[in-house]
Amino acid sequence: MNFDLADQADKFVMLLGGLIAFVVLVGGLLLVLDVIPTKLAERREARLAAAAEAGAPIPAGAARGREGWLAFGFLAPALLLLSIGLIFPAIRTTILSFMNGNSTEWVGFDNYTWMFGQPDIQNVLLNTLVWVLVVPALAATIGLLYAIMVDKARGEAVAKALIFLPMAISFVGASIIWKFVYAYRSGEQDQIGLLNQIVVWFGGEPKQWLLEEGFKLNTLLLIVIMIWIQAGFAMVILSAAIKAIPAEIVEAARIDGTNAWQMFWRITLPAIRPALIVVVVTITIATLKVFDIVRTMTNGNYDTSVIANEMYNQSFRYGETGHGSALAVFLFVLVIPIVIFQIRNIRKQRSEA
Amino acid sequence: MTTTNPPAAAVPVTKGGGDRPGTPAGRVRKKLSSPLATGIAILIAAFWSVPTFGLLISSFRPEDEIKTSGWWSFFTDPQLTLDNYSEVLFGGSASSGQLAGYFINSLVITIPAVLFPMAICALAAYALAWIDFRGRDWIYILIFALQIVPLQMALVPLLRFFSQGVELFGVQLLPAWGLSGEELFIQVWFAHTCFAIPFGVYLLHNFISELPKDVMEAARVDGANHPKIFRTIVLPLITPVLASFGIFQFLWVWNDLLVALIFASGGGRDTNPMTVRLAELAGTRGNEWQRLTSGAFVSMIVPLIVFLSLQRYFVRGLLAGSVKG
């Protein structure tokens, strides 16, 4: 036993401090927002009363301006944190991507030419492409298939929970689970990894799966983990969308004599299209940023690295901030079309509402 | 509490759903419910559960057994022990997990990193939904779009902000934070809070903007100001949604590796959460399966409890955040 709760006291003190800060900040903000407008309102009413006595018209638009200040109070913490935590850093990263490794000199587009010129990095970009093509497609397909197959079947809740559960597990935990599946021991010993055991049962030779670079096999094996995690998400969303299809539409189609497959392609699929788009977009974004799985499984060795992992290595291990920033900016550029697509969706929804 | 249901979460509009042969799901299922389809469903379910199950069994097997035979041999030769867990949690040597301390780090990181975003996002979402001011739509779209800025873009500058403060044209605008040891928790809370805002505002806004207009207007007519409406009317109504965002944020922070690696690792054992420690164990001692298997389960236990007990809210949040309209 080498654990003493007393040693942990400092941490709990920090936690307590954090909680006190929370109460003071949030409580204080609400208090300020409550007191100041009330004071202002009293003064304004006095003024308006005076103005009304003098017969002057009540100024229009005053209400809107007042609300603006209050709204700013509500939004201030969020906007402040977003500026410090996301907006300025993103701008700064973009600037850093045009500077050298320790950010002392301007180097123009050198980091970008490095990114597309280096065979290692080209391979990283290719891997990311494989991830982004395979994960959303397979996760959505499996999710959809499974949602349809277990819909209203006996034990639907349990069946769904089984697929959905990996969502709660950390990528690191999931990686360890799969590392164990892929574990390798040489042929004469008993296997401890399930995959190699199955190969042996079928009379094959056990393999070091994560070292198999041919046909990107090791990358595909890492991709399996991501699909394993994301399919549950796809399944839940698509299952809800399927259940929400109005019965009348289906009845009408049935009267017209459509068979099950036509029904699927012409009714179900179009009806769940918005949900399907959301699923694919969300999984695509998550996949672009995937980091934990690669880092835990192979640390990017054996040609399995992806942009996010390489960005971490360049910036925080090799001290090449310029290279890392260029990779981060490239990641952002990849995501921009998706942002525009989503914004257009929101605006459409807002105008319909 | 029906008001808190977003339009999309009102899922089973059709009574009976896929059970009747008339619904598309029902018809496709009929087509698919051949033995082949059932077989595929079972195969998928097995594929999803067996890896976790294998790890769970392994975590209770004696070290020698784990390393020399597959976990499936447990069924013919059942041997159970809790040694792996006590070793990985409280073990004395530096090479054992010593996860108990890291477990507490995870807890200390997670609690404030969930509470702060909940409050800040609720306030912002309320303002964006119910306070009338110029540029409201643009601010909302800006916050939404930030959701998709990769975390990676913020890491280097944010780290510099903590260590060097803000300097503009040689003038020090903000001092460096210069944190060390346990104080590094503040950095992690701060980073997680910033990164959670875009999604949180988006998710909560979906619900808050659907609250009935009459209630809000009645409150205004009665003379309640916005802070009062927020506290007394909106907060109670959005509790379930707030919970679903809280669960999201909890799972995200508890399971995070990247943010912790960058903002907490300076404090080593004092601040690193379990994910960092596990990734370390997986890298340097990848064959110490008795520690990896039990360690992985220690790290999963809290999120699994949260997830299984609050699954309803979690799913509701997913649906609200994803399939609006």
Answer yes or no: do A177 and B52 touch at CB < 8 A: yes
Residue B175 has pLDDT above 80, yes or no: no
Interface with A, mutate which of B136, B322, B324 (most A CBs under 10 A) = B322
| A266-270, A349-353, B124-128, B221-225: least confident range | A349-353
Angstroms from A4 CA to nearest CA on chain B: 9
Residue B121 has pLDDT above 60, yes or no: yes
SS (H, E, C) A29-92: HHHHHHHHHHHHHHHHHHHHHHHHHHCCCCCCCHHHHHHHHHHHHHHHHHHHHHHHHHHHHHHH
Residue B11 has pLDDT above 50, yes or no: no
Cα(B111)–Cα(B325) distance, integer angstroms: 33
Q: State residue A349's pLDDT score.
A: 66
Q: Cβ contacts of residue A61 below 8 Å, gap of 6+?
A: none
Contacts of B307 in chain A (CB under 8 A): 165, 167-168
Answer yes or no: do B25 and A267 touch at CB < 8 A: no
Q: State residue A2's pLDDT score.
A: 60
CA B269 to centroid of chain Cα atoms: 23
Q: State residue B18's pLDDT score.
A: 41
Q: Report the pLDDT averaged over residues A49-61.
A: 66
Q: State residue B250's pLDDT score.
A: 92
pLDDT band at B1 (very low <50, low <70, confident <90, very high): very low
Answer yes or no: do B254 and A170 touch at CB < 8 A: yes
pLDDT tens sequence across B20-34: 455 666 656 555 556
Q: State residue A129's pLDDT score.
A: 92
Residue B140 has pLDDT above 80, yes or no: yes
Answer yes or no: do B155 and A89 touch at CB < 8 A: yes
Please tell me whether residue B325 adopts helix, strand or coil conformation.
coil
Answer yes or no: do A250 and B255 touch at CB < 8 A: no
Contacts of A192 in chain B (CB under 8 A): 66-71, 289
Contacts of A316 in chain B (CB under 8 A): 155, 261-262
With 0-12 CB in 10 A as exposed, 13-18 as middle and 19+ as buried, what is B119? buried
Answer yes or no: do B37 and A325 touch at CB < 8 A: no
Cα(B170)–Cα(B191) distance, integer angstroms: 26
Q: In terms of CA atoms, which chain A residue is nearest residue B48?
A: A163
Cα(B81)–Cα(B63) distance, integer angstroms: 9
Residue A348 has pLDDT above 60, yes or no: yes
Contacts of B153 in chain A (CB under 8 A): 86, 89-90, 93-94, 328-329, 331-332
Cα(B160)–Cα(B62) distance, integer angstroms: 46
The average confidence (pLDDT) of chain A is 84
With b for 16 or more beta-carbon neighbours within 10 A and e for fewer, the A27-45 pattern comes to eebbeebbeebeeeeeeee
Q: In terms of CA atoms, which chain B residue is nearest residue A102?
A: B156
> Is the model more confident about A349 or about B198?
B198
Q: State residue B32's pLDDT score.
A: 54
| A170-179, A225-234, B17-26, B88-97: least confident range | B17-26
Please tell me whether residue B132 adopts helix, strand or coil conformation.
coil
pLDDT tens sequence across A313-342: 998 888 888 999 999 999 888 888 877 877
Q: State residue B9's pLDDT score.
A: 35
Answer yes or no: do B66 and A190 touch at CB < 8 A: no
Q: State residue B28's pLDDT score.
A: 60
**CB nearest to A237's CB, from B12, B296, B319:** B319
Furthest-apart CA atoms within chain A: distance in Å? 103
Q: State residue A57's pLDDT score.
A: 60
Residue B10 has pLDDT above 50, yes or no: no
Residue A188 has pLDDT above 80, yes or no: no
| A5-9, A345-349, B240-244: least confident range | A345-349
Angstroms from A151 CA to nearest CA on chain B: 6
Q: Report the pLDDT averaged over residues A248-259.
A: 83
Maximum mean pLDDT: which of A59-68, A234-243, B21-30 = A234-243
Q: Does A170 touch chain B (CB under 8 A)?
A: yes
Q: State residue A350's pLDDT score.
A: 62
- Please name the residue ranges forming H helices in B131-183: 136-146, 152-164
- Please name the residue ranges forming H helices in B184-265: 184-208, 213-221, 226-229, 235-255, 258-263
pLDDT band at B5 (very low <50, low <70, confident <90, very high): very low
Maximum mean pLDDT: which of A7-16, B123-132, B144-153 = B123-132
Q: Does A11 touch chain B (CB under 8 A)?
A: yes
Instruction: Name the residue with tokens 């964006």.
Output: B128
Cα(B286)–Cα(B97) distance, integer angstroms: 12
Angstroms from A62 CA to nearest CA on chain B: 11
Q: In terms of CA atoms, which chain A residue is nearest residue B250?
A: A168
Contacts of A237 in chain B (CB under 8 A): 318-319, 322-323
Q: Report the pLDDT averaged over residues B308-322.
A: 77
pLDDT band at A352 (very low <50, low <70, confident <90, very high): low
Q: State residue B77's pLDDT score.
A: 77
Q: State residue A306's pLDDT score.
A: 92
**CB nearest to A172's CB, from B182, B225, B279:** B279
pLDDT band at A346 (very low <50, low <70, confident <90, very high): low
pLDDT tens sequence across A33-50: 888 777 777 787 788 788
Contacts of B156 in chain A (CB under 8 A): 89, 92-93, 96, 315, 321, 324-325, 328
Q: Report the pLDDT averaged over residues B82-93.
A: 80
pLDDT band at B115 (very low <50, low <70, confident <90, very high): very high
pLDDT tens sequence across A155-168: 788 888 889 889 88
Four-point Cα dihedral A157, A158, A162, A165, nearest 10: 60
**pLDDT over 90 percentage in chain B:** 16
ipTM tops the 0.90 cut = no
Which residues on neighbouring strands pair with residue A337, listed in sequence order? none
Answer yes or no: do B150 and A268 touch at CB < 8 A: no
pLDDT tens sequence across B100-110: 889 999 999 99
> Is the model more confident about B135 or about B115?
B115
Q: State residue A192's pLDDT score.
A: 81
Residue A130 has pLDDT above 90, yes or no: yes
Q: State residue A127's pLDDT score.
A: 92
Contacts of B11 in chain A (CB under 8 A): 240, 243-244
**CB nearest to B195's CB, from A14, A85, A168:** A85
Q: Report the pLDDT averaged over residues B232-250.
A: 89
| A window 218-277, beta carbon within 8 A of B | 228, 231-233, 236-237, 240-247, 250-251, 254, 260-261, 263-264, 267-268, 271, 274-275
| A window 188-227, beta carbon within 8 A of B | 189-194, 197
Residue B229 has pLDDT above 80, yes or no: yes
Q: In terms of CA atoms, which chain A residue is nearest residue B174?
A: A84
Angstroms from B263 CA to nearest CA on chain A: 11
| A62-66, A182-186, B247-251: least confident range | A62-66
Q: Report the pLDDT averaged over residues B130-150.
A: 84
Contacts of A240 in chain B (CB under 8 A): 8-9, 11, 319, 323
Answer yes or no: do A241 and B323 touch at CB < 8 A: yes
Angstroms from A112 CA to nearest CA on chain B: 15
Residue A347 has pLDDT above 80, yes or no: no
Q: Report the pLDDT averaged over residues B287-314.
A: 85
